[in-house]
Amino acid sequence: MDVTGDHWFLATILLQAVGAALCLVMVFGLARAIRPRSWAPWLSAGLLAIHGQFMFEMLSLRETVWFTLALLGVAWLLLKRIPSASSAVALGGFLASLYLLRPTGLMVCGVTLVFLAWNAMRLESGAVRRLVITLVASALFVAPWQAFTCRNFGTPGFFPTSSSGYNLAKGADPELARVTPWIDADRLDPRVRELTDTIPGTEELATDKAFKQIAIKLISKNPRRVIYRSMASAVEFVSPLPIPLGTGTLKQTASGLTIENFRPDWEEIAFTPVVILLLVSACGGLKCFLCRKEGPAFFGLWIVLVFLAFLAVHALTFTKTRYRLPLDALLAVPAGAWLAGFKRKREADDADKNPWP
């Protein structure tokens, strides 16, 4: 704030805009690496550019744009498979950034390291060296945060935040179904916090541990309801409609929580057709990748497993569309490749029907 003075807000928005532009460039580059002589790069970047929900989030004062850039960085290094120590160090840095920016970054780290280990087990040239360097680099980048955690809480933490139990408790809360997908699930925060009023002290790790116990009790009390709620959360995660659908005010009544003054978010809902096109095209593109018809099967499988890992986490807790948006940037790559292949097939069919110029 000292550097930008009173213009810190504008400076932050401009920095976020630069990050959003870099996301488009990286998606263009990934699509070009897969389909170099086609419309795929332009279609992939174009799909993301007109994805209103994505672009709005990129300009918000949140970490999403930087998480997306780190995710695309990992995708680029996996796709290119550059056999050098510097690329392995960069991969370790991107994985560490994902781990530190969001709890779900741990899922990307896990899936990516499994892929690197699989390559090492297959005795691919340089795979063992790349795995070791990536692990060491990731550990070095994460070490300062773990040292801070250990110094302040007395023990290092496996998760990058101290809210895993809290999110699990919120996901198991029976009132969550009344709130989502209509308004932001974070509106439940004051109510969920009341569950810990009896916990002595304010130490974060102890509080989060208490939340885990509360979540276990809520799940064991009615497991069927929690399963249904998890299935609904999974549907919400892949929904082309924005979650939450709007804004409103929570009010406690004798029958439970109700939502008053609900207002749909029409600005984001208007982009639903674009999201449908992206998701459907991505499914077609990933199918082609995995069947080795178009693009690398290895890269397609990595995208699928990362997506499923995110889906599982948010099914167990709760979801919002913004949690999926970094994945939409990844999905734009196979989506553009599939649309380009579809366009090329139509042109070939037209040429067969009209052989004369």
pLDDT on residue 7: 77
pLDDT on residue 8: 80
Please, are residues 70 and 64 in contact by the beta-carbon 8 Å criterion?
Answer: no
pLDDT on residue 351: 40
Give one DSSP letter per residue of 140-198, joined into a string. Answer: HHHHHHHHHHHHHHSS--SSSSS-HHHHHHHHH-TTHHHHTTTS-GGGGHHHHHGGGTT
pLDDT on residue 73: 96
Q: Given the DSSP bridges, would you call strands 246-253 and 256-264 parallel, antiparallel or unpaired?
A: antiparallel
Instruction: List the one residue out of 95, 130, 90 whose CA is nearest residue 109.
Output: 95
Q: Would you give per-residue pLDDT tens digits along the chain (357 residues)?
A: 455 555 788 888 899 999 999 999 999 999 999 988 889 999 999 999 999 999 999 988 889 999 999 999 999 999 887 778 899 999 999 999 999 998 889 999 999 999 999 988 887 778 899 999 999 999 999 988 888 877 766 666 666 555 667 778 777 777 777 788 888 877 676 766 666 665 555 566 677 777 788 788 888 888 888 888 889 899 999 999 999 999 888 887 777 778 888 899 999 999 999 999 999 999 999 998 888 755 588 899 999 999 999 999 998 888 889 999 999 999 999 999 999 987 565 554 444 444 433
Distances (CA, A) of 87 to 34, 79, 91, 93, 136: 19, 12, 6, 10, 13
Q: What whole-number distance in Å separates Cα of residue 105 and Cα of residue 99?
A: 4
pLDDT on residue 348: 47
Residue with structure tokens 């996901």?
171
Amino acid making up residue 63: E
Rounded (to 5) percent helix, strand, coil in the chain: 75, 5, 20
Instruction: List the one residue out of 135, 42, 20, 91 whose CA is nearest residue 302.
Output: 91
Q: Which pTM was predicted? A: 0.87
Instruction: List the one residue out of 54, 46, 15, 55 whose CA is nearest residue 28.
Output: 46
pLDDT on residue 297: 87
Q: CB neighbours of 4 closer than 8 A, spacing ≥ 6?
A: 10, 11, 12
What 8-state DSSP symbol labels residue 265? -
